[in-house]
Amino acid sequence: MEKTSEHRTVQQQLARVVSEISNPLFVALPTFLVIALVTAPDVVHAFLWWIIPILGISVAPFLFIWQGVRKGKLMDHHVSQREQRFVPLFFGLTCMLLSFAGLYALHASPILIATVVAVIVACGISLIVTRYWKISLHLVGIAGAVTVFVLL
């Protein structure tokens, strides 16, 4: 019986690690870096083009959620309760739109802009669907990253 308990603990720890590294806010970091490096005319443009979506798609939403957890407005940093997801997703969607505007103004590569548009569409759909059903935003993020890498 002790082995079963230890086995569950190992499984829970593994699940927690997988959940953390598959968080869309973190998956965006290497995804947008690769896109920027592959499509930018030089490294300076690549890092400039990378920092804009990272601030709007990862950093700002992460800080918003972190503050929500700290203030007790959100249960956890995964926003596990479906009822609590609307405001963070809406905030994230707004930040994504600002990222799009910034990249568009800087004449970023069409592939990078298209990826940001795809993220905006996925987040918009998730915002609507999550009002009625609890969906896995981790899978949405991973599916998007995989799609981008396959198409690159």
Q: Which residue has the higher pLDDT, 105 or 151?
A: 105
3-state per-residue secondary structure call for the chain: CHHHHHHHHHHHHHHHHHHHHCCHHHHHHHHHHHHHHHHCCCHHHHHHHHHHHHHHHHHHHHHHHHHHHHCCCCCCCCCCCHHHCHHHHHHHHHHHHHHHHHHHHCCCCHHHHHHHHHHHHHHHHHHHHCCCCCCCHHHHHHHHHHHHHHHC
Q: What is the CA radius of gyration of the chain?
A: 17
The total of structural domains in the chain comes to 1
- Structural domain harbouring 102: 23-151
Q: What is the rounded distance in angstroms from the CA atom of residue 36 to the CA atom of residue 111?
A: 9
**Domain-embedded: residue 17:** no
Give 96-136 pLDDT, tens digit per residue.
999 999 999 999 999 999 999 999 999 999 889 988 888 88
Per residue in 61-102, pLDDT (tens digit) is 999 999 999 999 998 887 888 888 899 999 999 999 999 999
In a domain, 7, yes or no: no
- Give the pLDDT band of residue 1 (cuts 50, 70, 90): very low
Choose among 51, 2, 13, 3: nearest CA to 29. 51
Inside any domain, residue 68:
yes
